[in-house]
Structures are given as C-alpha cells and as structure tokens.
Structure 1
C-alpha cells in the first residue's frame, strides 16, 4: 500500500494526459459522449497504463505543478492535431456547399455545437463510421499510450518556441487544406463545367432564365457526382486517417525533443 502511494503522483500525471487527450480527440470529445463515460474510460485506461509503464517516484512540490501543466498541454495538443486533420472533411464539404448553393443552409452540428456545412456533415458521418470500421479509435488510443516513449513524465517543459514545432504545425494546416481540396475537386470540378455550360446557354438562348434552371440542375449534378466519386472519397478519407496518425507521431517526436 505504501509503495502504491509513492507512485500515486505519477499516476495522476498519466490520468491528466489521458483525460485532456479525450477533450479534443475526434469521436471521444463529442457532446453525445457522456462526461462520466469520458472520465471513467480515461481513469481505467490510465490505471492499465500505470501498470504497463515504469512509473517514477515523484514528489509533490512546485516542480510537480509544472509537470501537471505540461501533461495537460501534451494531451490537448495531441488530440487537437488529430482533430485538425479530420476537420479537412468538413472544409471540403464547405467548398462543395458553396459551389452547390447550399452555403446559406448550414446546420448545427450536435456533436460540437458549431455550425457545419450540410455536405461536410454528411461526409463527416461517413468518415466516423469508416474510422470505427477500421479500428482507427484503437490506433488513436495506442498513440496516447506510446506517447510516453517519446514524452517522458519527468520532462519539465515543452519546446513550444522551437521553429521545428511551428513549422510542423504550419505544415499540418497546409496539409489539411490540401486534402480538403482533393476531397472536393471531383464535385467542384463537375459543377464548374455546369457553370460553363449554363454560361454558354445564357449567351445563346437569352430568353431562358438561367438562374431558375441553374440551381436545381447544379444540385442534381452534385448528387450524381457525389455518388460516382464515393470510392475516391473513401480512399482519400482512409489516407487521411494514416495522415492523422503520422501527424500525432510527428508532434510527439518534436515535443519530446527527438
């Protein structure tokens, strides 16, 4: 019992990192997941990891408070970098909605409480189902477990001002928009051709009201293009999951000073 009490401060550090990891991680951080479930699964995961890790004996003093803040920041950043990559799906939906004419009809995402594009939310639901079907949530939990091999519990600070960390974050944001463009380009490209055709029709047949015909035509073409390009979209989303795991690993390498 006395030996376990000696390791209790280190267990609290593990619990802080895992709990804050679930605050920003996709799928686990949503409002539909009860808070007591998040805390409970974080506690039991921390308990399992505490027996799997070689926990050091840490005294509770002023340096311990810095360690708690560091663990809190590590959990938030790792989950946030994964959420940024997954946000590419909703950004792609925003591109498609703008071209379809659905940009004015945003919906409230019940998971986050923020406004979300209709097509983006549609794609995001499929992405979450695909994430669960390929056990991506297991890989994300593995990421937080193996983070202790890269970012030690006794590490007192994080190199947040390092130019490599800033460059990595900028690269992740750049990749997010690039993947969003790749997801949206089949549908947006088809709608661009529809706009060109409507422009030609408006010049050749001035009596035809293009604005009345154009909107339902673009919506119909969009749905057909989405159905045709589903295979491409799923393959890109699957690559997005791999990119998310690599981004988490890369950030942990930099934060751990590797």
Structure 2
C-alpha cells in the first residue's frame, strides 16, 4: 500500500491501460457486464499487476499527460484488434444469411447493442460459449499482462504511423476475412449448387413456381449443412482464438519497437 501511495502515477497508468482494454476487448466489453463490475475488476487487476511488473518511478509533469493518452490508445487498439478478429463469425454469418434469404432480417445483439445477422448471432453465441469452455478469455487477460513486456509503462509514444504497423493491420484484416470465408464456404457452396439446380428446373419445368419452392428449400439445405459442418466450425473457432492471440502479440511487439529482446 505504501508503495502504491509513493508511486501512484504508475498505478494510474496501469489502471488506464487495463480499463481501456476492457472498453473494446471481446467478452469483457459487452453490455451484459455492468460498468461498475468492469471498473472494479480493472482496479483489482491493476493492483495485482502493479506488484507483478514493478513499474519505474513516474513523475507528474507535462509528459505524464502524454503517457496517459498513450496508455489509453494502446488499450483501445489492442482490445479492438482482438475484437475485429472475432468479428469473422459475424461476417461468415452475413455470407450465409445472404444466400439463405435471411439478409433482410437482423436481430439486436444483446452484447454489443448492434444489429447482427441471424446465423451470425447463432454462431457468435457458440463462439462465446466455446471461449468460456476452453478458457480462451484467460488468453485475453494474459495479453493485458504481457503487454508490459513489449510496451513499457514509461514509453512516451506509439509508432502508429509506421509502415510495418499498417501492413500488420492489413494482414490481420485479411486473415479475418479468410477465416470467415472458410467458415461460410460449405453452406454458401451448397446453396450455390441449389441455385444452379433450381435454375435448371425453372428452364425444364416452367409450370413450377421456383420462387415458392426455392426459399424453403434453401433454408432447409442451409440448416442441414450447418448441422453437418458444425464440428469443422468449432475447429475454425479454435483457429480464430489462436489468430486473435497472435494478432494482439504481434501488434504489441510492433508498438514496442519490435519487442524487448531482453524479455
């Protein structure tokens, strides 16, 4: 307690970074968790990290304001990098909904308060349950803790405009869309074959109303394919968690100037 009182600026910087993490980080930033719980959890986590990382002495001067802004920006950026990787589930659901005919109907995501596709929300619920079951949310807390090995608390700025950082973010977006495409291709590909079959039937049997038959047929085929490929989807979800961890670590290494070689 005496150490925190003597070096309270460092404790404030740690608290700001962790709080900023929890603003954008998946699972911990959702509206289902009350804000008082987020602030309290951030405070106690900052308390633990203060004695774990042994921060250097920080003085309150003009540079202290820049350090606070740097900590907030770092927490928001790293948390958002994990969030947009996990958003591949929503993108895959959008691809499937568009082919199923469900794109016209969206639901409100209770976690974020934004509109999301039906199948995307269905798969996203499985992702959250799978994350809790496999303790993948502990990896997010590990990312918060090990961020001090890559970006020290007394580092005055972040190299946001460097070419390597921009290229890494672009590659992360690319990997997100690749995983989303891999998740949706079984259902989207089977529906493409159904569309071809319906087109052939429409040309050979013009008396049949394809618009009446096609929509329930595509919905039925989609649900059957989702049941068949659910195991493969869980494997891709595990790959998604690994990609999320590597993205957070790689971005922190770039922000820390390539990482601390001593660590």
Distance in 2 (CA, whole Å) between partners of 1:87 and 1:66 is 31
> CA–CA distance in 1 between the matches of 2:136 and 2:85?
14
Which residue of structure 1 aligns with residue 24 of structure 2? Answer: 24
Task: Tell me the number of residue pairs that the alignment of Structure 1 and Structure 2 aligns.
Answer: 258
What's the CA shift string for 1:101-155, capped at 9, x where partnerless?
0000011111111110000000000001001111011111011000000000000
TM-score if structure 2 supplies the norm length?
0.97
| Residues in 2 aligned to 1:5 and 1:226: alpha-carbon distance in whole angstroms | 56
Unaligned runs of 5+ in 1: none
- 1:108/1:114 contact within 8 Å kept: yes
**Do residues 229 (structure 1) and 229 (structure 2) align?**
yes
Aligned residues of 2:23 and 2:79 also touching (Cα < 8 A): yes
Partner of 1:250: 250
Could you say which residue in structure 2 is the equivalent of 1:180? 180
What's the Cα RMSD here? 0.8
Deviations 1:189-248 (A, max 9, x none): 110111011011001100000000000000000000000000110000110000000000
**Alignment match, 1:41:** 41
Q: Is the 8 A contact 2:14 2:50 kept in 1?
A: yes
Shift, 1:55, TM fit = 1.2
How far apart, in 2, do the equivalents of 1:182 and 1:108 lie? 25
1:6 deviates by 2.2
Q: Report 1:43-122 matches (<5 A).
A: 43-122=43-122
Q: Which runs of 5+ in 2 are unaligned?
A: 259-263
Query: Counterparts of 1:241 and 1:210 in 2: how far apart (Å)?
Result: 41
SS in 2 for 1:27: coil
State the partner residue of 1:171: 171
> In the alignment, which residue of structure 1 is the partner of 2:191?
191
Q: Give the corresponding residue for 1:213.
A: 213
The 3-state SS of whatever aligns with 1:107 is: strand
Superposed CA offset, 1:22-58 (max 9, x none) = 0000011111110000001100000000011111111
